[in-house]
């Protein structure tokens, strides 16, 4: 038995519909019939056909008009369509192929040619479906590769390369439009002690927890990235010094209030709580502001972070 498929036969002549039904039945193919364009559209709309054999001449309109409407139906994407026409309608075949038909059959229909062309159309449908699957898979792989290139594998937030690109763009936007811009840099306090006490797996869990807390606390317009090790950065567009300080305090409090369940080196479970120290820097929106680089903001934020560490940790310091 040949490959299975379901064929919609659209023709006003009962004899043609019956001939196609019998011949394709011999090939193990199911058929459904329609005598008009209206019936064809209704049947095709159910989305249960693989091939459509469409007469160029129909009692309720031009077959090419029906062809155009069939091709516009999302549920028929990838369905193969062949026009059927007599010698008298030969001009319709050329126009039909130009308008989206995949093949054609001349009337009176030859039984051998009918089976051969329908099987070819079914193969075309399968090949197109396979191409679509491969294309979708390729898009998924490309998206995954892009994410790997731009995001930190451990925490899922943006990586340092993405941070640098984003901050460069935000600094350029700040200079052009003089909108305020702030950067918050934070570091997990006593992170080495977490690794030494509970193991590096627990340390990884803590970093994932901090990243999740950060993502939940910041605004949608803010940009969160892992800067390296246990350091994270938040880029806050259109945020002045006062707003950045509030953001940093909100982050500090949220991390201090959260906890992470970890598995210790001995296999026992434990609850770990950490705090973070934060440094804040803001670029003034004043017309008198002088140009700066992204690296300048990061360096100043890092200096403020250092002062927060020196000042006792679990605190926020603002760069002058």
DSSP annotation of 238 reads T
C-alpha 16/C-alpha 210 separation (Å) is: 71
Active site includes 26? no
Token pair listed for 123: 């193969």
Are the CB atoms for 239 and 181 separated by under 8 Å? yes
C-alpha 100/C-alpha 245 separation (Å) is: 61
C-alpha 37/C-alpha 56 separation (Å) is: 10
CA nearest to 194, candidates 266, 242, 136, 265: 265
Q: How many residues are present in the chain?
A: 320
Are the CB atoms for 243 and 182 separated by under 8 Å? yes
Please report, for residues 54, 181, 234, 240, 244, the alpha-carbon distance to residue 289 in angstroms, rounded to integers and kept in the order given: 71, 12, 22, 14, 18
Sign of CA dihedral 132, 134, 137, 139: negative
Are the CB atoms for 176 and 185 separated by under 8 Å? no
Q: Are strands 6-10 and 51-55 parallel, antiparallel or unpaired?
A: parallel
* Active-site hit among 27, 43, 170, 230: 230
State the catalytic residues. 230
């Amino acid at each position: 038995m040949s490959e299975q498929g379901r064929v919609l036969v659209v023709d006003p002549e009962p004899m043609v519909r019956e001939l196609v039904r019998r011949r394709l039945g011999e090939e193990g193919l199911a058929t459904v019939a329609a005598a008009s364009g209206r019936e064809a559209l209704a049947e095709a709309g159910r989305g249960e056909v693989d091939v459509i054999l469409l007469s160029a001449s129909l009692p309720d309109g031009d077959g090419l008009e029906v062809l155009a409407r069939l091709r516009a139906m999302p549920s028929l994407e990838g369905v193969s369509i062949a026009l059927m026409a007599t010698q008298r309608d030969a001009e319709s075949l050329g126009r039909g192929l130009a308008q989206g038909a995949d093949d054609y059959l001349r009337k009176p229909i030859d039984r051998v040619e009918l089976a051969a062309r329908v099987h070819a159309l079914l193969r075309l449908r399968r090949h197109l479906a396979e191409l679509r699957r491969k294309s979708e898979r390729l898009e998924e792989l490309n998206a995954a590769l892009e994410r790997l290139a731009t995001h930190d594998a451990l925490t899922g937030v943006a990586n340092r390369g993405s941070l640098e690109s984003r901050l460069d763009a935000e600094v350029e936007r700040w200079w052009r439009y003089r909108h305020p811009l702030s950067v918050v840099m934070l570091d997990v306090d006593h992170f080495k002690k977490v690794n030494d006490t509970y193991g590096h797996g627990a340390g990884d869990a803590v970093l994932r927890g901090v990243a999740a807390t950060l993502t939940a606390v910041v605004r949608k317009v803010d940009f969160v990235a892992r800067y390296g090790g246990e350091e994270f950065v938040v880029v806050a567009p259109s945020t002045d010094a006062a707003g950045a300080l509030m953001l940093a305090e909100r982050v500090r409090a949220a991390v201090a209030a959260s906890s992470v369940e970890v598995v210790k080196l001995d296999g026992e479970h434990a609850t770990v709580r950490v705090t973070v120290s934060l440094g804040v820097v803001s670029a003034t929106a004043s017309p008198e502001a002088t140009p700066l680089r992204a690296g300048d903001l990061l360096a100043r934020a890092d200096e403020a972070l250092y002062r927060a560490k020196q000042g006792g940790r679990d605190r926020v310091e603002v760069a002058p």
